[in-house]
Structure formats: C-alpha cells, structure tokens
Structure 1
Amino acid sequence: MPFRLVPITALILLAGMAVLTPPGRADEPQAGSQFYEVRTYELGDQGDEALLDSYLESALLPALERQQIGPIGVFSPSAADETGTQAVFVVIPYDQLEQIATLRDALASDEDYQAAAKEYLDRPHTNPPYERIRSELLSSMACWPELQVADGSLENDERVYELRLYESANERIGDLKVDMFNNGEVPIFLDVAITPVFIGQCLMGPQMPSLTYLTVYENDEARRQAWKDFLAHPDWKVLSKNPKYAGTVSHIDKFVLQAKPYSQM
C-alpha cells in the first residue's frame, strides 16, 4: 500500500479528537481548553536575530492580534542559560485548533502583515535569518488549563523564565507523568513560588511523548531558590517516591529565558 501524505488540517482535526475533556461545568477551564505552539527559531551561526525581532514585533504579533490570538511570548536564552542555544522561542496560544489551520491563509491575505513582513519575507535564500524553525503543538492539562500571565510580571525587567520539556520512554509512561502533574506536582510548584505560565501535553512535535511547561520568577536568584525549595518540599518527597511514577521522565530539556522587550508574556 503506497504511503500517502495527510493534509495538515486533517492532522489538526485528529489531534483535536484525541483531546479528552473531563466532566465539569461548561464555564470552567478544563484540560484541552487551549492549545499552545512552541515555535523555536534556531538561529545557527549566521542567523540575523535583529531582523527576526523586527519581523516578530512589527509583523507577526500584530497580525496574530488581529486574528484574536494572544498573548504571545517571545524569549531568548538568558545569561543564566547553560545550553549554549542560539534561538528565539515563541509561544502562541490558541483557543481553537481551527485557528492554526486557517492562520496561513489569514496571513497571506493580511495586507498590513505583508507590508510589515516584506524585508523578512524577501530575504534571499542564500542569506536566511535563521537556520530552521522547530514547532511542537501542545494541549493544556487539567492542572493548569489556561495560560496565565502573572500579575505585575511584565513590569519586572529582572524576571526570568524557565522552559522545560519532559520526554518519556513511551505513551503509557508519558501519560503517567501527566497524571503526576495533575495529581500533586503543581500545588507544590505554587507553594515554593514556581509560577506556571502554561503547561501542556505534546500532541505533535519532534520529541514525543512529552509535556512542556513555562514558569516565571522574579529574578534568577529566586528561580534557583524555588527549585531548591521544591526538591526539599515534604510533599515532593512523598510524590517522587510513589512507585507508580517511577521512571516517568527519560530526558529533560531546560532553557533559562529572558523576555524580549516586545513580548506579551
């Protein structure tokens, strides 16, 4: 039987069918009530971060706002990041999967976007502003069903963020890690000043099965102290020793980030 390519719209619809929403009041945020694209512009050694910033700030973010998509987070590695990554991270929340399916056409017909993005879009292929774009699509989880920008965080220039991806060995084990978050891990976060922005289980992406989350802190010293407090928290000591959750994480990616001046998170 020959291999056939499945249109991206069909993939998005299938992903939506896979999201299970638990029972509850219709007006309460629930798992799967939002979707998050974590888009990584890998700059490489020849990337033009200034051009990319201009495109994101002046073209893409205003166009997304016209589509009622946002708030948008834009980040780069901070001085505290130890990965050596040269990249710009963009977090785009969607209330409906259909927004993803129709976004390309919406941008193509948006004259303001096309004008603002002209320099970026007309860049010769011999001199691209980035090496590649990597994206993952996430579904919100019951423990944190909607993206939240912490009160006062945008006014704090010293704030730092941490983006973590937890990869699991197989789908069953990955679901157990989701269960661990939904049944005890996030209250410990909040108790030690680890403040989530979003938490999502991966529906599509280069690293699966996995979950990804973004947290914010007053500064890097507060970030470091919060994780020390988390590891010492008595509830974490009990939860982490539960044999049900043994071996749920096979690989961790961790990036310490700072917000771009025009970031909406």
Structure 2
Amino acid sequence: MGAIGLGLLMAAGAARAGAAAPKQVLELRLYTVEAGEKRQRLDEFLGKVAIPAWNRIGIRPVGVWEAADGKRADLYVLLPHASMEAFATSRQRLLADAEFQKAGEPFLTLPKSDPLYRRIESTLMLAFDDCPKVEDAVKDDTRLFQLRIYESHSLLKGQRKVEMFNTGGEIALFRQCGMQPVFFGEALAGTKIPNLTYMVVFKDEAAQKANWKKFVTSPEWKAISGKPIYKDTVSHITNIVLKPTACSQL
C-alpha cells in the first residue's frame, strides 16, 4: 500500500475511533408545495411552529433547503434523530407538545381544499461510521449545498459503496479536498433502494467547482476508484444543488 492510501486509511480509522457516539437516524423529507402564497405559508409553519417544536423534543439541527436555481418551490427538510426509538416516537411527542398544538392550530386545521402542502415524501437513513452525526461547519451566507443520491443495482454493490466511503477512505478524502460533509446516510426505507444519500456544503459556487476539481483529479481518488472491489457499485446518481431557506439551522 502506498503512502497516499495509507494516509487516507489512517484518517478514516481516526474518524471512526473518535465517533464513539451512536450513529444518528436521519429522516430526509421532501415537501411538495405550490409556489407563491402556499410556499410562504409552509415557510412560516416550519420557521415559527415546527422547527421550535422539533428542537424541544430533541431534534436538532433542522435543515431546510430549496432549489438553488429557484425553479421549484418544493422544500427538503432534514430531521436528525438520536435513535430508532426517538424516530418512532417523534410524531407522538410532537403532537403531545401543547405549544406546538397552540401555535400550529391555524396550519394544522386547514381544510382539505386548501392543504399546507401537497404531500411529504420521506427517506429514512442510518448515518455512516465516518460521519455518525449531522455536521454544521460552514456558516457563510453564500453557502451552497449539494445533495447526491447513489443508487446501486444490488444490495452487495450498495454495501460496497458504503464501505468505499467509510473504510475505503472516500469521506476522509472529501474532507481533505474541502468538501465538508453535512451527512452521509444509508437508506433503510424510502424509494430507489438500495441507495445511499449524502450532502456536502461549500462556501460558495466557486468553492464547489474548485473543490470537486481537486477531488476528481487527486491521485488518492484515482487509487480508491481504481480498486476492483469497488467496480460497478453505483448504477445511477441524482445530483441536486440547494440553498438554505431563512429558517434553516444548517
């Protein structure tokens, strides 16, 4: 093994050794909503009612994002749970919160003819060993987020790709190249399974382009991606560029 590969494996091992805390259970929601007044109403509900209530029951930080190009009104919402039990009981605990019920009354009692949103699609994930908790490292107002979904054609290949990020050193290389993780999650339930989903954040669009170039041209990436064990681990990639809304805590 060369010095490059050894260095990445040592970095990955150090990250795992420092991650003694349990891995979070991550819920990524997609709220589909009409643009204009209905989107504004959903923003108000999330910012003034839902996020404070989620925080009170231990769900934090909550991320809320919209399409960076402004072409869609839909919102992505990330809810980190401390455990599977915390996730399973979150709805009951939320509805038992008197302040949520009081502040949310105008939104929660909307008629069928005028709903708060069209629907919610939800993906449930288990955080990775090398990124066990949601990270909040970039605070710039210009920050840009990239959400990527890697689908695999089999469970075995999907697990290989997870291993590639963890023990293979890919997350460590991301950090080395300035691609700051927000989360990495292996899908437990949702659509397009098997898949993993991750989000990285950059200071701005220029940093996004520069750091991706640094990553894909690095000798470390050539060494990792060239290993036969990782061949054909990804069959389809979905790439979504997002920006935070005013109420986002990430």
Q: How does the TM-score come out when normalised to structure 1? A: 0.83
1:30·1:141 contact (CA, 8 Å) conserved in 2? no
Q: Which residue of structure 2 aligns with residue 228 of structure 1? A: 213
Paired position in structure 2 for 1:89:
76
Which of 56, 62, 65 is residue 52 of structure 2 equivalent to? 62
8 Å Cα contact 2:19/2:130 also seen in 1: no
Tell me the SS of whatever aligns to 1:254: strand
- The 5 Å alignment of 1:158-173 reads 158-173=142-157
1:115 aligned to 2:94? no
Q: 1:215 aligns with which of 200, 224, 230?
A: 200
CA distance in 1, matches of 2:94, 2:182: 27
Corresponding residue for 1:261? 246
Instruction: Give, in whole Å, the separation in 2 of the partners of 1:29 and 1:46.
Output: 43
5+ residue gaps in structure 1?
1-23
Alignment partners' CA distance in 2, 1:94 and 1:85? 27
Deviation by residue 1:144-193 (Cα, 9 ceiling, x = unmatched): 1221110xx23x11011111111111111100000110112112111211
The 8 Å contact of residues 148 and 199 in structure 2, kept in 1 or not, is answered as yes
Find 1:137's aligned residue among 110, 124, 133: 124
Aligned residues with identical type, % of pairs: 35
Q: How many residues align?
A: 234
Could you tell me how far 1:30 is from its partner in structure 2? 5.0
Q: Is the 2:128–2:185 contact (alpha carbons within 8 Å) kept by the matching residues of 1?
A: yes
Q: Give yes or no for contact 1:47–1:128 (8 Å, CA) kept in 2.
A: no
1:74 to 39, 43, 64: 64
CA deviation vs aligned residue, 1:47-68 (integer Å, no higher than 9, x gap): 8111111111111111111112
Counterpart-to-counterpart distance in 1, 2:175 and 2:64 = 24
Question: 2 CA distance for matches of 1:201 and 1:30?
Answer: 19
| Structure 2 residue 43 is matched with structure 1 residue 53 | yes
Equivalent position SS for 1:100: helix
Q: Which runs of 4+ in 1 moved over 4 A?
A: 44-47
How far did 1:208 drift? 0.6
Unpaired segments ≥5 residues, structure 2: 1-13
Q: How does 1:10-29 map to 2 (within 5 A)?
A: 28-29=18-19
For the aligned residues, what is the CA RMSD? 2.0
